[in-house]
Amino acid sequence: MKQNIYDNPVFFKEYISLRESGVTYNDFVEQPAIKSAISSLKDKSILDLGCGTGHFAQYCIVNGASRVMGVDISRNMIDQAKKKNGHEKIEYICTPIEDLDLHNQKFDLIISSLAVHYIEDYSQLIVKVKSLLNKNGEFIFSTEHPIVTARNDMKNWVKDSKGNKLHWALDNYQEEGTREQHWYIDGVIKYHRTISTLLNTLIDNGLILEKIIEPQAIPSGLVQMPKLVNEERRPSFIVIKSRSLS
Ligand SMILES: C[S@@+](CC[C@H](N)C(=O)[O-])C[C@H]1O[C@@H](n2cnc3c(N)ncnc32)[C@H](O)[C@@H]1O
């Protein structure tokens, strides 16, 4: 099932206002980690799967990329991307990743920031990614950590009567598949996969694993968002970097 929550007006308004605050898990945990995994952007052709409002596409161009293609299912996100992060070297396409058909095109870097947990068929995604990578091309993606998506209700902190976080509950780990969450709106669907599925599907498709990051908050993030200290108790995200040798 392809879900397009970012075109839900309530969700979109809340999400954009959160991201525009600049005080988010993205700013202080996930983005620094995924950027740290990139070897180089200079003269690279880049495909951004689930590009959102295009800030990463713009970052690539500023850092010397030769061209970027940004793909997103959400018309709202693509419209914002064109408006706020448009550039002659960036092409934005509004389509589900699952339907993306780019036959003859190849890229030096395929990146996907926090979109893979919305994709039902991970195996098909990796086959597609592999077919779109140049020789030596990198595939770097971040996703919600399996210890976050595992528990069926995704309510993981066990708290005492005063609301103090006692520990993180992990359950249902081997039950891969749909999880439903309230995130601004009811019925947000994500897909849980185990670490072994995330990694072995890459390996089975001929990709070489190069780096795994379970990121912690950067120091300025801890100052602006003290609750990020909890990333030391359990990681919210995982960043996986792989490479195609053929
Ligand atoms: C958490 S946002 C991240 C956006 C961007 N990568 C960033 O880091 O700011 C996830 C994005 O994935 C997009 N998305 C979700 N499912 C998708 C799908 N099946 N095909 C394409 N884009 C999808 C959403 O519309 C949204 O823009």
Q: What is the pLDDT along the chain (246 residues), one digit of tens a residue?
A: 899 999 999 999 999 999 999 999 999 999 999 999 999 999 999 999 999 999 999 999 999 999 999 999 999 999 999 999 999 999 999 999 999 999 889 999 999 999 999 999 999 999 999 999 999 999 999 999 999 999 998 889 999 999 999 999 999 999 999 999 999 999 999 999 999 999 999 999 999 999 999 999 999 999 999 999 999 999 999 999 999 998
Write out residues with Cβ below 6 Å of ligand 1.
2, 6, 26, 50-52, 56, 71-74, 77, 96-98, 113-115, 118-119
- Report pLDDT for 80: 97
Q: Is there a contact between 142 and 34 (Cβ–Cβ < 8 Å)?
A: yes
Which letter does DSSP use for residue 104 in this model? T
Domain total for the chain?
1
Smallest CA separation from ligand 1 atom 11, residue: 50
Residue 127 tokens, joined = 């086959």
CA 63, chain centre distance (Å): 20
- Report pLDDT for 166: 97
- CATH code (residue 226): 3.40.50.150
- Report pLDDT for 209: 98
- Report pLDDT for 225: 98
Rounded to 10 degrees, what is the CA torsion of 69, 72, 77, 83? Answer: 20
Burial code (b: 16+ CB inside 10 Å, e: under 16) for 145-171 equals bbbbbbbeebebeeeeeeeeeeeeeee
- Ligand 1 centroid to residue 19 C-alpha, Å: 13
- Report pLDDT for 160: 96
Residue 187 domain boundaries:
5-244
Please, is 197 exposed, middle or buried when counting C-beta atoms within 10 Å of its C-beta (0-12, 13-18, 19+)? middle
- Report pLDDT for 46: 98
Whose CA is closest to 141, among 240, 208, 224, 219? Answer: 240
- Report pLDDT for 1: 81
Smallest CA separation from ligand 1 atom 5, residue: 52
Smallest CA separation from ligand 1 atom 14, residue: 50
Q: Largest alpha-carbon pair distance within the chain?
A: 59
Residue 26 tokens, joined = 């993205």
